[in-house]
Amino acid sequence: MKQKTLIPLIVFLLGICLVGIILYKVDSHETAQNHTTALLNATTYGERIKNEITEGIDVTDVLKQILISESGEFNQFDMIAENLMSDSIESVQLAPNGVVTDIYPSAGNEAGKIDLLHDKDRGKISCYARDNHTIITQGPFKLKQGGSGIAVRNPVFLKDENGLEYFWGFTIVVLRVPDIFSDAVSALSSFGYEYRISKTDAPWSDTYNIVSQSNDSLINPVSYTFTIGKETWMFEVAPQGGWRNNLLITKTSVILTANVILLSVLTCVWLTSKENKNRFQILAHTDSLTNIYNRYGFDELAAKMIAKNPKTHFVAALFDIDDFKFINDIYGHGYGDKALKRLADSMKTFFPSDAILGRNGGDEFCVLLPNYTFEEAEAQLQQFTSLPKTFSCRGREQQFYISLGYAEYPTFASSLSQLMRCADAALYEIKLHGKNGCMSYNQELQSVVRKQLGFALRDISEHLPGAFIIYRADKEDDELFYANHEFLSMTGYQSMDEFFRLTNKSFHNLIREDEQQQIEASIWEQIDSGNENDYIHFHLRKADGSYLSVLDHGRIVESPQYGKVFYVLFMDWEDMHIHYSDKFSG
């Protein structure tokens, strides 16, 4: 009788101890997982908030570029400011010499026309922005129209007739909060998180002011910090109701009364662990930007598929965006990401459901098509390459192009890695022949194609026996793109950055002032007449302000992305005369 009582009691007590241990382990595991997930969300949405604020700040950069291009003059301010407005922007302002003179919309903002550099609340931080050549944000502060705002002040520096830099004033935008990052915080709130966004009250301060926060308090939040200008922002996140899973703890405590409840809890823990494992396996195999396989996930799944069906024909395609760096440089990395996501979305729509889609990294993507030969895939891949591809930038669709190479297994490869190398060789053959095309691998292509391309891009421009530049031909706003080492050496510029800075990236500024009108008229006469080649003699401005007599041999081409582009070779006029007169006199 004692055994009948004692054994069940021992089993029960051992069960309670086991449940207690399991309860402790489950609670620690869940809390750690919640911290990990919350930190991932804080990082992801913190970057989104930073990008959304930066998009608002970009308005000041647009105004700044207009002032620079117009030498400090700003015409039709109201019309331009109106086009730049959005729901998250309260007002757009200009402050020449630090004094606010123009505000859009003007109604209700008359009190904002103040001297920023001498105002007791704004003077110190405004002077800091001017003296340190940096964007500053100030706020939050209450808006007369309701809600709160943050003022962004972007200092503008111009050059006088002597080439000396001087402070013009500020371009300003007042951002509404939390409107500017409402999309990010709304998405985060829908996942069951509380949040708080703070920023340092000045670049030199460690004190944080709350910019925006959810209604409930945060318990032991995780945080993610980022910088805008020279100010630090902090984004804090915590789950609603705290970190512990109180429901699971309550259920587990009920298990003490029976082995069945204990089994149920163990099953629940096993299922929870399995779910978490699957979730992180998906994250490890998926590209977070495009939601297709990353390189690790693509290689693993593709290798398994080929190994499982070794006699099946497969076609692998490798492609990237032509001149993707220019998209990032011209429009910004945020719009580069938009182009990548648009390309991935078009892949999901275009290719069959059994195709494996992946992003190798950067702007390079890959596709594996099962049960295809290269003849069967040719039309499909040609069609995908030629389909219009665009991304949206400030309300306009910007077009971009891709280059694609593909190869067939097992015709040209015995493994996935060899198959991808063949596709890579075909891709770089396309690159060598002008991009924006599609090509299949054949046995004449070798892996050295990539080395040949690398040599061409890296070495030809630097070792070509001549000085040359590339610039966009535009009557109102020409833009310098490139100068090789020979040109920089001939004209005394220490680097490309110095060349762009001293010329303001304009070919117009390389021509001696008294020749500018005549030379530019000659150039445009060439363009308008349809002549692709021309020779012009003029005086080229050097880095030290002196001039060099040169012969300019220009060729104009039509670029699908930049319009008319000039490739210009320069020869020293005096050296050329001395060299050839000596040569022919003998």
CB-side neighbour CA atoms (13 Å) of 209: 14
What are the DSSP calls for 166-210, one per residue?
EEEEEEEEEEEETGGGHHHHHHHHHTTEEEEEEEESSTT---EEE
Cα-trace Rg, the chain: 32
Query: Helix crossing, 77-84 with 2-69: angle to 10°?
Result: 160
Tokens at 17, concatenated: 């101890």
In the sheet that holds 208-213, the strands lie side by side as: 208-213, 193-200, 231-239, 222-228
Tokens at 14, concatenated: 């051992």
Q: How do the domains of the chain map onto residue ranges?
A: 58-171, 293-458, 464-585
According to CATH, the topology of domain 293-458 is Alpha-Beta Plaits (3.30.70)
The CATH number of 58-171, from 3.30.450, 3.60.21, 1.20.120, 1.10.150, is 3.30.450
List the pLDDT tens digit at each of the 586 positions of the chain: 555 577 888 888 998 888 889 988 887 888 888 889 889 988 998 898 888 888 888 999 999 999 989 888 888 888 998 999 888 898 999 999 999 999 998 877 776 788 999 999 899 999 999 999 999 998 888 888 788 889 999 999 999 889 899 999 999 999 998 888 888 888 888 888 989 999 998 888 888 988 888 887 888 899 999 998 888 999 999 988 778 777 777 888 888 887 668 776 666 666 667 666 656 667 678 999 999 999 999 999 999 999 999 999 999 999 999 988 888 888 888 999 999 999 999 999 999 999 999 999 899 999 999 999 989 999 999 999 999 999 998 888 999 999 999 999 998 898 999 999 999 989 988 887 768 889 999 867 654 444 444 444 445 666 677 888 888 888 788 888 888 888 998 999 998 888 989 999 999 899 999 998 888 888 888 777 777 677 888 999 999 999 999 988 888 888 765 678 888 899 888 877 776 665 545 4
Determine if the peptide bond prior to 388 is cis (ω within 30°). Answer: no
Report the alpha-carbon distance of residue 74 to residue 68 in Å, rounded.
Answer: 10
Cβ neighbours of residue 188 under 8 Å, at least 6 residues apart? Answer: 41, 45, 195, 237
Closest CA to 172 of 113, 247, 212, 238: 113
pTM for the structure as a whole: 0.42
Q: Do domains 58-171 and 464-585 have the same CATH topology?
A: yes
Q: Which CATH class is domain 464-585?
A: alpha beta
Helical H segments across 514-561, by residue range: 516-529
